[in-house]
Amino acid sequence: MKAVRSVLEYLKGIGVQHVFGIPAGSVNAFFNELYDMPEITPIVTKHEGAASYMAAAYAKYSNQLSVCIGSSGPGGTNLVTGAANAMREHLPILFLTGAVPVSTEGLNASQELDADPIYKSVTKYSVTVRDSKDLLKEIVKATKIAVSGVPGPVHIAMPIDVQQGPSGIEEIPSILVREEVIPNLETIKLVAKELVERKSGYIFVGQGVRNSVDLLFELAEILEWPIMTTPVAKGYVRQDHPLSAGVFGFAATEQATNLINDGDGKSLLIIGSSLGETATNNYNSSLTDGRFTVQMDFDETVFNRKYSIDIPVLGDIQLSLSALIEELKSLGLTRKEMAFNRKENNDQILDEYSTKNVLLQLQSYLPSSTRYTIDIGEFMAYVIHHMDVLEYSTFDINVHFGAMGSGIGSAIGAKLAEPDRPTVSITGDGCFFMHGMEILTAKEYNIPVLFVVMNNARLGMVYHGHNLQYKRVHPTFAQEPINIAAMAAAMNIPSIRIEEMGDLNEEVVNSLLQMNGPAILEISLVDNNIPPMGDRVKFLSSFGK
């Protein structure tokens, strides 16, 4: 058996159903084997970077390892941004890159690149395999590393001759299981005792709470403490829960900001957040000042980075929360179960043609279960600050790494992972011109995603940020207005262009949702209001003073 065939047999055995990437000479052997393996579908994209974002979203919402592949040289470098993105989101992705034959290394072969050291800083493991008999062994090792402990991406470079050589392995492994990180029970008991003694406090949650939201609500109802989220965790806490206090950090809500800055909570329980810049309003010291602080995470490197933590709790979030709940109950606390109660959004939809009003109007027409994959741009601040969380896991916002165009690929990967869930990508013209051709990928695979393109013919976030910082804007930040709906029409993709508030209605939105493939809703709008970036506005406007 060829080494590359043994790799695909292994991937099939552990449940891999899609491989995202682009074929090329250095990985042709891999794609050739897929002809005879209908269980795995290659999702051939228009750019390797977009493939990596698709793989990331697929890993996140399928809760399993995903696979992404690129050629040697430029294909490999195009995947690096996606690997760095996956590292920040703790997503298990196997990145495979082709490589020139071992015998031609160092001879300036076509597309030659030593990819291994490039990937080392953005993955948990990276290696070039130079013997075909080692390829499957290294793939198995890498995938185990990807899902173990703190999940994350791994990388294997496969020279052409190594892929074609003999495997040397007769029995192919078929099991990939992650071992749980179990919290220390004595630490949990100490946390329970300290929280009970202090009585008042807040719960601050990041993306690590993703698979533990029911436990989060149970804990909050036992303690009767408000819950606030980081921007990336916005979609995990429904706003109609009585204890939901909204988002703290970039584009924070007023309620959360007031609680952190002026509230009298004596404790802060941090769950699944690394407390980075966008999560903390530029490392706002008010977050922990005067508060007994507990941080739960499965990544021990996040403890005591910027903020002093009184008790770090290392362990899988689900296990740590379960143990803490049981310990609080043993101390006599009981759950005060609270019913979800739909709150009216205080943000009224006005006639003004603005980013805020368009997004609120759009959400009012879409199913409550819609998942929004949010790209990077000024519209992102409006989404975080104003849009409602109506159901679990409805917002995918990667402000953490902030890669423009990532929201486009994320929508496609998310839809493949959960086909029955309505999926909408909210992107901008700047992001679209980076990765917008992936609408063709969605078309070719009949993936029904609604792409909402906020088109202001400029790099909006850059425009506002630069203007706040320097009180002027370079003319090159703007560009010639392009009719993106017309571009889509040229590709036979359904599209509608909105140019005023009256153009946006339920009939328009519903018509685009009924398609068997992608559709584009272009919002042609220049909004000169400063986005609701919270303390980021103060930071930029005072920068250098």
529 and 412 inside one domain? yes
The yes-or-no verdict on residue 461 having pLDDT over 70 is no
- Number of folded domains that form the chain: 3
Split at pLDDT 50, 70, 90, the class of 206 is very high
pLDDT at res. 253: 92
Q: What is the pLDDT of residues 373-401, one digit of tens each?
A: 999 999 999 999 999 999 999 999 988 78
- Alpha carbons within 13 angstroms on the beta-carbon side of residue 295 total 22
Looking at the domain assignment, is residue 411 inside a domain? yes
375 and 323 inside one domain? no
pLDDT at res. 424: 98
154 and 106 inside one domain? yes
Structural domain harbouring 536: 355-541
105 and 33 inside one domain? yes
Domain boundary among the residues 130, 164, 198 is at 164
193 and 156 inside one domain? no
Within 8 A by CB and 6+ apart from 256, the residues are 228, 245, 246, 247, 248
pLDDT at res. 467: 65
Q: What is the CATH number of the domain that holds 394?
A: 3.40.50.970
pLDDT at res. 18: 98
Split at pLDDT 50, 70, 90, the class of 351 is confident
Q: What is the CATH number of the domain that holds 296?
A: 3.40.50.1220
In eight-state DSSP terms, residue 14 is T
The whole-chain average pLDDT of the chain stands at 93
Q: What is the pLDDT of residues 410-428, one digit of tens each?
A: 999 999 999 999 999 999 9
Looking at the domain assignment, is residue 82 inside a domain? yes
How much is the average pLDDT of 489-498? Answer: 97
Of 241 and 529, which is predicted with more confidence? 241
Nearest to 395 by CA among 383, 385, 403: 383
> Please, are residues 509 and 424 in contact by the beta-carbon 8 Å criterion?
no
How much is the average pLDDT of 17-45? Answer: 96
Q: What is the pLDDT of residues 210-252, one digit of tens each?
A: 999 999 999 999 999 999 999 999 999 999 999 999 999 999 9
Alpha carbon distances (Å) from 529 to 107, 355, 539, 541: 56, 9, 17, 15
Looking at the domain assignment, is residue 345 inside a domain? no
What single letter denotes the amino acid at residue 224?
E
Both tokens of residue 188? 């949990």
Looking at the domain assignment, is residue 248 inside a domain? yes
Looking at the domain assignment, is residue 178 inside a domain? no
Looking at the domain assignment, is residue 342 inside a domain? no
The yes-or-no verdict on residue 498 having pLDDT over 60 is yes
> Please, are residues 297 and 314 in contact by the beta-carbon 8 Å criterion?
yes
108 and 203 inside one domain? no
How many percent of the chain have pLDDT more than 90? 83
How many percent of the chain have pLDDT more than 70? 94
d(CA 169, CA 468): 61
How much is the average pLDDT of 14-30? Answer: 96
Which of 17-21, 348-352, 494-498 has the least mean pLDDT?
A: 348-352
84 and 118 inside one domain? yes
